[in-house]
């Protein structure tokens, strides 16, 4: 394979998770008897541009044609988006003559806040069914994949964009160069692009191996992102760390000709260098730590089962699917998975075939333990499940080490730190 960004020829192996089904390919009842396609899931590190990345590319059409992830089912994501939009409208003086474009705009959970403030928007969302939901909510959205060519057409049609959002997209496409090129083409001279992606620093430190799946192809550090953006005349002006998705970076990106990197950019860049994140040795023990975690978690679940305890799981998202499949946790250990999204209820988890139910099932069945697959929304979910916990239900947080949260316990789950500077 060659590196997705710099085309170097020999990225080095870091982690091999075996062959797994597509993490978001939830199964309908009639699919359960059919063979499921599985694809190799291995991660390599490019020593030239320092990008950690998945080797195999599954055709995006196979994954995004019909998509079941609707951002609006997470209160945390919607609130995170609202605060960000408020800030941009204020600091950049956006109004009726501005133009905001979001790449991979999902169901409009972010753009809706601009619409409410009278700022013209356009969403680009490849999953047709998700784009339709956004349009029905009054958010102009086109169902297509963003690229340099699409950016050129959009610019010719409606002019440059004052603000471009690309949240969880740069890391999710086979060719990040095409997205970066498109941003460079569409972004106004004085415009700003806001990019967010899970931070590889947190992935490694907090053993978040379950955020690795076929739709999430690249794991960026600040350094790797800067290298990519520089290839397209873009530069990072400011950086923040946010708690969302287990720890993400939010980059404020501008044309290199006008960008003035903040102290936060220099500080985080220096920290990455001091920690050796640009070298293969930083990633060398990751694989051993993942397999040790599998031993600990499976052992815990088996011991609970042996005592006659009943176990459920919370969160039918990609990371849950990855964890269950890679660790071989199936219906022998977990009875059912609950999820708030009605689009997922009634389906089953890929590979392990655990049925997905509504969260109310936790109260109806009162399992002794619930494995928190959606650990990135731990605080939100524990808050919603007060009654289940009050009646004696415990949660198990799987990463970075299995941890039981007893019914009366009020853990400080302050996810990750949220240091970082504010945009000027
Ligand atoms: Zn590379």
Mean pLDDT of 252-267: 97
pLDDT value at residue 64: 55
Q: Above 90 in pLDDT, residue 68?
A: no
C-alpha 174 to ligand 1 mean position (Å):
13
pLDDT value, residue 53: 97
Burial of residue 55, with CB atoms counted within 10 A of its CB: 0-12 exposed, 13-18 middle, 19 or more buried = middle
Find the Cα–Cα–Cα–Cα dihedral 115, 121, 127, 130, rounded to 10°.
10
Q: Quickly state the pLDDT bin for 215 (edges 50, 70, 90).
A: confident
Rounded CA-CA distance 303/54 in Å is 34
pLDDT at residue 32, rounded to an integer: 93
- Residue 121 has a pLDDT of 98
Average pLDDT over residues 253-269: 97
Q: Note the pLDDT tens digit of each residue in 316-344.
A: 999 999 999 999 999 999 999 999 989 89
Percent of the chain with pLDDT over 90: 83
Residues with CB under 5 A from ligand 1 (ion): 3, 5-6, 8, 46, 48-49
Sequence spans of domains, the chain: 63-274, 286-405
Same fold: 63-274 with 286-405: yes
What's 286-405's CATH class? alpha beta
Q: How far is the CA of 366 from the centre of ligand 1 (A)?
A: 49
pLDDT at 414: 47
Q: Look at 152 and 242; give whichever has higher pLDDT.
A: 152
Q: Where are the alpha helices (DSSP H) in 307-422?
A: 318-327, 360-365, 378-384, 386-390
Find out if CATH 3.40.109.10 is the number for domain 63-274.
no
- The pLDDT value recorded for residue 412 is 63
pLDDT at 125: 94
Rounded alpha-carbon distances, angstroms, from residue 265 to 63, 270, 390: 34, 9, 45
Question: Looking at 26-35, 122-131, 160-169, 409-418, which range is the least confident one?
Answer: 409-418
pLDDT value of position 420: 32
Ligand 1 centroid distance, CA of 197 (Å): 18
**What is the average pLDDT across 26-43?**
93
C-alpha 418 to ligand 1 mean position (Å): 29
Distance between Cα 386 and ligand 1 center (Å): 46
pTM for this model (two decimals): 0.90
State mean pLDDT over 6-14. Answer: 94
pLDDT band at 224 (very low <50, low <70, confident <90, very high): very high
Strands 234-242 and 403-405: unpaired
pLDDT at 340: 92
**Cα–ligand 1 centroid distance for 51 (angstroms):** 6
**Contact (Cβ atoms closer than 8 angstroms) between residue 101 and residue 157:** no
CA of 2 to the centre of ligand 1 (A): 8
- Could you read off the pLDDT of 275-285 as tens digits, one per residue? 999 999 999 99
pLDDT of the residue at 127: 86
| 32 contacts 78 by C-beta, under 8 angstroms | no
- With tokens 């209160």, the residue in question is 75
Chain centroid to CA 30: how far?
29
Question: Which whole number is the average pLDDT over 72-94?
Answer: 89
- The 10s digit of each residue's pLDDT in 281-320 is 999 999 999 999 999 999 999 999 999 999 999 999 999 9
Q: Does residue 203 carry a pLDDT above 50?
A: yes
Q: Mean pLDDT for the chain?
A: 92
The mean per-residue pLDDT over the stretch 63-84 comes to 74
What is the per-residue pLDDT for 424? 27
Pairing mode of beta strands 121-124, 100-103: parallel
- The answer to whether residue 66 scores a pLDDT higher than 90 is no
């Amino acid at each position: 394979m060659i590196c997705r960004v710099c085309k170097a020829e020999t990225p080095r192996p870091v982690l091999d998770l075996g062959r797994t089904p597509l993490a978001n390919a939830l199964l309908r009842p009639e699919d359960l008897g059919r063979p499921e396609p599985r694809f190799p899931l291995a991660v390599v590190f490019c020593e030239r541009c320092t990008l950690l990345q998945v080797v195999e590319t599954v055709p995006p059409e196979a994954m995004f044609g019909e998509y079941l992830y609707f951002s609006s089912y997470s209160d945390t994501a919607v609130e995170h988006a609202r605060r960000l939009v408020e800030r941009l409208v204020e600091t950049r003086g956006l109004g009726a003559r501005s133009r905001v474009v979001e790449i991979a705009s999902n169901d409009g959970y972010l753009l809706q806040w601009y619409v409410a403030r009278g700022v013209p928007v356009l969403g680009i969302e490849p999953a047709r069914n998700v784009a339709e939901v956004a349009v029905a909510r009054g958010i102009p959205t086109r169902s297509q994949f963003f690229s340099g060519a699409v950016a050129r057409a959009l610019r010719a049609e409606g002019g440059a964009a004052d603000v471009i959002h690309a949240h969880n997209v740069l890391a999710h496409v086979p060719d990040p160069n095409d997205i970066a090129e498109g941003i460079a083409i569409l972004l106004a001279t004085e415009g700003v692009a806001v990019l967010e992606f899970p931070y590889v620093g947190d992935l490694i430190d907090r053993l978040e191996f379950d955020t690795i799946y076929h739709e999430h192809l690249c794991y960026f550090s600040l350094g790797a992102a800067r290298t990519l953006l520089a290839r397209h005349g873009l530069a990072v002006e400011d950086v923040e760390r946010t708690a969302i998705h287990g720890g993400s970076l939010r980059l404020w990106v501008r044309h290199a000709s006008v960008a003035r990197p903040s102290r936060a950019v220099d500080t985080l860049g220096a920290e990455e260098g001091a920690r050796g994140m640009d070298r293969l040795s930083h990633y060398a023990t990751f694989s051993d730590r993942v397999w040790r975690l599998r031993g600990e978690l499976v052992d815990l679940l088996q011991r609970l089962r042996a005592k006659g305890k009943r176990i459920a799981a919370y969160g039918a998202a990609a990371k849950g699917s990855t964890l269950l499949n890679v660790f071989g946790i199936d219906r022998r250990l977990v009875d059912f998975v609950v999820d708030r999204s009605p689009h997922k209820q009634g389906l089953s988890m890929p590979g392990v075939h655990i049925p997905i139910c509504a969260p109310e099932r936790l109260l109806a069945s009162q399992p002794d333990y619930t494995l928190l697959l959606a650990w990135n929304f731990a605080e939100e979910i524990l808050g919603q499940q007060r009654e289940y916990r009050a009646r004696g239900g415990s949660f198990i947080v799987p990463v970075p080490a299995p941890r039981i949260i007893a019914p009366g316990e009020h853990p400080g789950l302050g996810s990750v730190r949220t240091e970082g500077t504010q945009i000027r």
